[in-house]
Chains A and B, each alone.
Chain A
Amino acid sequence: MKPVTSKANWISMLKAVPVKNSAAEIHETASGLSVRVFNQKNDSRFFLLRWIVPYRPYRTIQLDTVGAAIWNLCDGKRCVEELCDIFARENRLSFHEARSGLADYLSKLIRSGVLAISLQDSP
């Protein structure tokens, strides 16, 4: 009779605030947005390697319609829960449908350096 799921919660994830990479450059494209994220300053110790493999100071990430909508919603104040509410309302999804979709998308954007996440203390 002991529940299997009693310890599982995602409050800290919902209360986290996605923040845009302020150094990123935005360009509007026909299919959405193009975000140019600058790579970290190159290390002079690797000059030999850089001579063989050309160094690219930035990388470009293409955001589709959903990605562009999420990017525009991230104002550094709205938490993931608020984003889920807006995304669910605009796309007629249930809260958890929106949460699962957004969580995947946000993690991709965070990994690519487009967004950072600011974790809040859970209540």
Chain B
Amino acid sequence: MHLTLPDDWEMLQYSKNPVQGRCAFADRYQFRFEMNWSDVQSPPDMERLLSDYAASIEEARQPKPSPLQSGAWHGLSMMTENGCCVTGYCRYFSEISQLLEICFIYPSGQPRDGSAEDKILSSVHPVITQADACQPWRAFGLDWCVSPELSLSRCTVSCGLAELSFCSQNFRATQTFSRRGLLYLWLKEPMEQWIKKTIPKDFTVISAKQRQHHGHDICDLLCAPSSFAWTDLLFGKRLLAVSAFLCPQEGRLYAVTDLHRGKKTHPTAPRLSCSCGISVSPGGAQ
């Protein structure tokens, strides 16, 4: 799903489940935007959905909500008990069989901004990728492409660190994308040495390359298992490719790893980009 939000709204809550979940964005003072998604096979009766919801609000003895419409979005405007104006919209996207609910939350005493809501709602559209194409992702200031057969398995976001891992259904392939800041606190050695320390103990570096691209120092590693394992014979030999680079403009370290078994079934390599537009693929693959 693609949508455009104000620059100062940051995602603070998220679900990893692509079938049903929610994410919430906040400005610097409070949550301002929520998005809920759920897979629904056939279009729901929107009028019924809204009227049921309006009835539940009236039952809770809250002020009667007023109906809203913005393009194909149907919604309601209501006041919460703490005096905040809240508007909620829903729309069914038949292309991806998903029902989307969007809520705008206003600070106490601030009136509803209909034009800003319309602008955001009109920017919402599903991103449909071909079955064999890489999935484009953008979150926490990172841009990356992940192989189509993988799904989000882990997400870590903290001060100066954003790291997301994707794995296949059988857990045999994993791709990890990360961005690290506050380098002066922890990066006390050359990047190549640091990246070698992050390699799992059961892997050995078989090739290491260093290159420069538009002022970015890039380090590519290719690793193989250091000892024989029966699973390698059964499912194919494990290969680990790692690339890391320092963005001089941002002063942050980007790293991408790709762990897979045997010959890759998918020809397109994962890709991670910084804000300068420089992108790398693990192991230096183009």
- Which residues of A are interface residues toward B (Cβ below 8 A)? 1-11, 14, 64-66, 81, 84, 91-101, 104
Q: B10 on the interface (CB 8 Å rule)?
A: yes
Chain A residue, CB-CB nearest to B75: A1
Q: Are B160 and A4 in contact (CB under 8 A)?
A: no
Specify which chain B residues have a CB less than 8 angstroms from the CB of A97 in the assembled complex: 158-160, 181
Partner of B251, one of A6, A7, A8, A92: A92
In the complex, which of the residues B8, B31, B75, B141 has the most CB atoms of chain A within 10 Å of its own CB atom?
A: B31
Within 8 A of A (CB), among B90-110: 90, 101, 103, 105, 107
What are 13 A-to-B residue pairs whose CB atoms are below 8 Å? A1-B53, A1-B75, A2-B86, A4-B24, A5-B26, A5-B31, A6-B82, A7-B82, A10-B30, A65-B184, A91-B181, A97-B159, A98-B159
Taken together as a complex, chains A and B put the C-alpha atoms of A81 and B184 apart, in Å, by 23
Chain B count of residues within 8 A CB distance of the other chain: 37
Q: How far is the CB of A109 from chain B (nearest CB, A)?
A: 15
Taken together as a complex, chains A and B put the C-alpha atoms of A10 and B31 apart, in Å, by 9
Q: Are B29 and A95 in contact (CB under 8 A)?
A: no
Specify which chain A residues have a CB less than 8 angstroms from the CB of B124 in the assembled complex: none
Specify which chain A residues have a CB less than 8 angstroms from the CB of B10 in the assembled complex: 94-96
Q: Contacts A10-B30, A95-B10, A96-B12 given: A5-B105 contact, CB under 8 Å?
A: yes
Q: B28 on the interface (CB 8 Å rule)?
A: yes
Q: Are A5 and B28 in contact (CB under 8 A)?
A: no
Q: Contacts A1-B88, A5-B24, A11-B29 given: A91-B182 contact, CB under 8 Å?
A: yes
Q: B76 on the interface (CB 8 Å rule)?
A: yes
Taken together as a complex, chains A and B put the C-alpha atoms of A14 and B29 apart, in Å, by 8
Closest 8 CB pairs of A and B: A101-B159, A9-B30, A1-B88, A5-B31, A3-B103, A96-B10, A3-B34, A5-B24
Q: B193 on the interface (CB 8 Å rule)?
A: no
Partner of B34, one of A5, A66, A99: A5
Specify which chain A residues have a CB less than 8 angstroms from the CB of B75 in the assembled complex: 1
Q: Are A10 and B29 in contact (CB under 8 A)?
A: yes
Q: Are A8 and B31 in contact (CB under 8 A)?
A: yes
Specify which chain A residues have a CB less than 8 angstroms from the CB of B24 in the assembled complex: 3-5
Q: B250 on the interface (CB 8 Å rule)?
A: yes
Taken together as a complex, chains A and B put the C-alpha atoms of A65 and B182 apart, in Å, by 11
Q: Are A81 and B28 in contact (CB under 8 A)?
A: yes
Specify which chain B residues have a CB less than 8 angstroms from the CB of A94 in the assembled complex: 10, 141
Q: Contacts A1-B53, A7-B82, A81-B28 given: A92-B34 contact, CB under 8 Å?
A: no
Taken together as a complex, chains A and B put the C-alpha atoms of A79 and B76 apart, in Å, by 37
